[in-house]
Amino acid sequence: MSPQMLSLLTDATLQTLSMVLVAGALACLGGIPLGLFLALCGPGDLLPRPALQRLLGLVVNATRSTPFIILVVAIVPLTRALTGTSIGTAAATVPLTLAAIPFIARVVEAAVREVDHGLLDAARAMGARPGQIIRLVLLPEARAGILRGLTLAAVNLVGYSAMVGAVGGGGLGDLGIRYGYQRFMPEMMLAVVLILIVLVQILQSGGEALARKLDKRHLKG
């Protein structure tokens, strides 16, 4: 493997990592509160706001059902307005964030809804306010589930970040397409795929290890 190839791979890996991390962090900022709202504000939930909850649920579903590649193209004006360009790593972060927010919202919602309803009874019987129930019961009990959901989102982001490569987003996907496919360099393609596999493995096992550490529901042998 030539030094040029190596430097290309290093740059592309760093670009992918920055896209995943920045988009992931931004999407958490939007997705976690949104997920909590979806889980807590439905009809019969702790803080019912059924109309708004339904509306946001519809928006989340609409965003999630738009194919990612179409989303990337469709929001180019927004991307330009935010980053001043529609190509490159920074520009790619915008659709990645936008796609990850509803995904994270749904996994957070699912994790919070998984918490045993009996715990809510117990907390209410102890005179807890809704805010205390969320802070002292729901979030601590759901944290392992939320973390597993975020791991899933991060792995998905790696995949999506490769996809934005196809439309000039930079990163490993871009490298794989331009060198591996268009210039017919199978060794480059192989290197890209291997790096992606390793990235996903690290994310998955890191997330799972942390979730297991936080999860006290089962005895560990």
Partner 1 sequence: MVRLTGLRKVFGGKGKPAVTALDGVDLIAPTGSITAIIGPSGAGKSSLLRAVNLLERPDSGSVVVGGQDLTGLSEADLRRARQSIGMIFQHFNLLANRTVAGNVALALELAGWPRDRIAPRVAELLDLVGLTDKAGQYPAALSGGQKQRVGIARALAPNPQLLLCDEATSALDPETTRQILDLLRRINRQLGLTVLLITHEMSVVREVADHVVVLEAGRIIEQGDVTRIFTHPQHPTTRDFLAGETGTRLPAALAARLSPTARPGDVALVRLHALGPVAAGPVLAGFALAGVAASLVAGRVQALKEIPFAALVLALKGDATAIAAEINHLRAQGADIEELGHVAADAVAFN
- 217 touching partner 1, by CB under 8 A: yes
Do 155 and 203 contact (CB within 8 A), yes or no?
yes
Q: Is the CB of 132 or the CB of 205 nearer to partner 1? A: 132
Longest CA–CA separation in the chain, Å: 68
- 126 touching partner 1, by CB under 8 A: yes
Q: How far is the CB of 208 from partner 1 (least distance, A)?
A: 17
Q: Which stretch binds partner 1 (CB under 8 A): 28-36, 52-60, 185-193, 212-220?
A: 212-220
Q: How far is the CB of 106 from partner 1 (least distance, A)?
A: 22
**Token pair of 59, please?**
């928006």
Fill in the per-residue mask, 155 to 194: x = in contact with partner 1 (CB under 8 A), - = not in contact.
----------------------------------------
- 209 touching partner 1, by CB under 8 A: no
Q: Which helix (H) or strand (E) holds 161?
A: helix 139-165
Give every CB contact of residue 62 below 8 A, 6+ residues apart in sequence: none
Best CA proximity match to 38, nearest among 61, 21, 69: 61
- 46 touching partner 1, by CB under 8 A: no
- 119 touching partner 1, by CB under 8 A: yes
Q: Which stretch binds partner 1 (CB under 8 A): 60-68, 120-128, 151-159, 194-202?
A: 120-128
Helix intervals (H) in 41-138: 50-65, 68-74, 76-83, 89-114, 117-125, 130-132
